[in-house]
C-alpha cells in the first residue's frame, strides 16, 4: 500500500471515515497539522497522491514540491487558498465539495439576518445586565412587504430564499449571471440590489472580480433600514466601509459569519458596533454536515485514486 492521501489540516474529532474509505481504495491516510505553515505543507505533500485541505494555503511553492500528486481536494466549497493556475500547470486537478452543509449555511444566514433585524444582541445584553425595559432601545422594522436581495443564487442562496419566503417579502432581487430564471425573482445588477433591498444576503464566490464587491460606494447606496448578511466569503465586503456605515447609522445592521482575515483583528471597529452580529465561520457546521463533508471528501479522493476525476473539477484543462 504505497499510495498516500494527506490531509494538511487537523481539527476534526475523528477521521474514521477517511481511514476506512481510503484503506479500501488501497491507500494510506495521514493527517498533518500544518495550521497555515507553508513549510509544513511543502514537506507534507511531497509523496502524496491526493491532498485534502481545509484552511492552509496551497501555494505555488507547495504545489512545486509535489512529485506525484493527482488532485488537491478542498474540504468544503471555497478554494481561494489553492493556487489553481499553478496546479493546472503541474497537471494537478483541483476539486471541492460544494454539495454539503446547504441547510446549515442557509440557516446561519437566516439566523444572522433575524438577529440583526430584531436587535437580539442589544436586548440580550440588556437582560444579562439586569436592565428590563419594554421600551424602544433601537428601531426595528417588520420584514413583510419589504425587499430581499440575494447576490449569488446557487444552492445555498436558493435554500436561504426558501427559508425566508414565509416572512412575506414583496420582492426578491437576484444577481447571478449563471442562475436559472425562477418564478418570483427579479434579475438585477448589484447596484440595484444595494439601492432597493432591505435585507441583502451574499452568496457569491470570492474572485479577483468580487473582492470588495460591497465597497464604500455600494454601501452608500443602501437604505438606512438595510441589513447586510455574509455567510459566503469575508473578502466580498470592505469591512472598514461597513463598520463606518454602521457607526454613522447609515444602515441598520449586519450579520457576518466570515471575515477577510480569519481570525479577524478584535480591535477592528466592527466589533464595537451594536448593529453587527458576528460569528466565527461556523455556518457550515452541524454534526451531520461535518460527517457528510468528511465522507464526501474521502470518496472524492478514492475516485481520483481509482483513475477518475473529481466530481467538481475546477481547474479543467
Q: Can you give the CATH number for the domain in which 66 is found?
A: 3.40.50.720
Q: For residue 241, how many other CB atoms are within 10 A of its CB?
A: 17
Length of the chain: 317
Q: Is 312 a catalytic residue?
A: no
Q: Is 281 a catalytic residue?
A: yes
Record the cell numbers describing residue 310, joined without a space.
473529481
Nearest residue to 301 via CA among 9, 26, 79: 26
Q: 145-156: per-residue pLDDT in tens?
A: 999 999 999 999
Does residue 196 lie in a domain region?
yes
pLDDT over 90 percentage in the chain? 91
Q: Please indicate, yes or no, whether residues 229 and 244 belong to a single structural domain of this protein.
A: yes
Q: For residue 58, how many other CB atoms are within 10 A of its CB?
A: 27
How many domains, in total, are found in the chain? 2
Record the cell numbers describing residue 1, joined without a space.
500500500
Residues 6 or more apart whose CB falls under 8 angstroms from that of 274 comprise 121, 122, 138
* Catalytic residue selected from 54, 146, 281, 303: 281
- Residue 178 — very low, low, confident or very high, per pLDDT cuts 50/70/90? confident
Q: 130-177: per-residue pLDDT in tens?
A: 999 888 999 999 999 999 999 999 999 999 999 999 999 999 999 998
Q: Please indicate, yes or no, whether residues 239 and 196 belong to a single structural domain of this protein.
A: yes
Q: Report DSSP state, residue 264.
A: P
Q: Please indicate, yes or no, whether residues 181 and 270 belong to a single structural domain of this protein.
A: yes
Q: Please indicate, yes or no, whether residues 196 and 137 belong to a single structural domain of this protein.
A: yes
**pLDDT score for 152:** 97
* Catalytic residue selected from 104, 233, 300, 303: 233
Give the pairing type, strands 93-95 and 50-53. unpaired
The CA distance from 304 to 72, in Å, is: 10
Q: Please indicate, yes or no, whether residues 78 and 190 belong to a single structural domain of this protein.
A: no
Q: Is 121 a catalytic residue?
A: no
Mean pLDDT of the chain: 96
Helix H or strand E encompassing 172: strand 171-175
Amino acid at each position: 500500500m504505497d499510495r498516500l492521501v494527506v490531509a494538511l489540516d487537523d481539527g476534526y474529532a475523528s477521521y474514521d471515515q477517511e481511514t476506512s474509505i481510503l484503506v479500501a481504495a488501497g491507500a494510506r491516510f495521514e493527517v498533518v497539522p500544518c495550521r497555515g505553515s507553508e513549510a509544513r505543507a511543502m514537506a507534507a505533500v511531497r509523496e502524496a497522491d491526493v491532498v485534502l485541505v481545509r484552511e492552509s494555503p496551497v501555494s505555488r511553492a507547495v504545489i512545486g514540491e509535489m512529485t506525484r500528486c493527482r488532485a488537491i481536494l478542498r474540504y468544503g466549497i471555497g478554494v481561494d487558498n489553492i493556487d489553481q493556475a499553478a496546479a493546472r500547470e503541474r497537471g494537478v486537478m483541483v476539486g471541492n465539495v460544494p454539495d454539503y452543509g446547504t441547510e446549515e449555511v442557509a440557516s446561519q444566514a437566516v439566523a444572522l439576518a433575524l438577529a440583526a433585524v430584531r436587535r437580539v444582541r442589544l436586548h440580550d445584553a440588556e437582560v444579562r445586565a439586569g436592565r428590563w425595559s419594554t421600551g424602544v432601545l433601537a428601531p426595528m422594522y417588520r420584514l413583510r412587504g419589504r425587499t430581499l436581495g440575494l447576490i449569488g443564487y446557487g444552492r445555498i442562496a436558493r435554500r436561504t430564499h426558501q427559508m425566508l419566503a414565509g416572512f412575506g417579502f414583496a420582492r426578491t432581487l437576484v444577481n447571478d449571471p449563471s442562475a436559472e430564471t425562477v418564478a418570483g425573482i427579479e434579475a438585477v445588477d448589484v447596484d440595484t440590489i444595494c439601492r432597493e433591498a432591505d435585507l441583502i444576503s451574499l452568496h457569491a464566490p470570492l474572485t479577483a472580480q468580487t473582492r470588495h464587491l460591497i465597497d464604500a460606494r455600494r454601501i452608500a447606496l443602501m437604505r438606512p433600514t438595510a441589513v447586510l448578511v455574509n455567510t459566503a466569503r469575508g473578502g466580498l465586503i470592505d469591512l472598514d466601509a461597513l463598520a463606518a456605515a454602521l457607526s454613522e447609522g447609515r444602515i441598520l445592521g449586519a450579520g457576518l459569519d466570515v471575515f477577510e482575515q480569519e481570525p479577524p483583528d478584535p480591535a477592528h471597529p466592527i466589533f464595537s458596533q451594536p448593529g453587527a452580529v458576528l460569528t466565527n465561520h461556523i455556518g457550515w457546521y452541524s454534526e451531520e454536515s461535518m460527517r457528510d463533508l468528511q465522507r464526501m471528501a474521502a470518496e472524492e479522493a478514492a475516485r481520483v485514486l481509482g483513475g477518475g476525476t473529481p466530481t467538481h473539477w475546477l481547474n479543467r484543462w
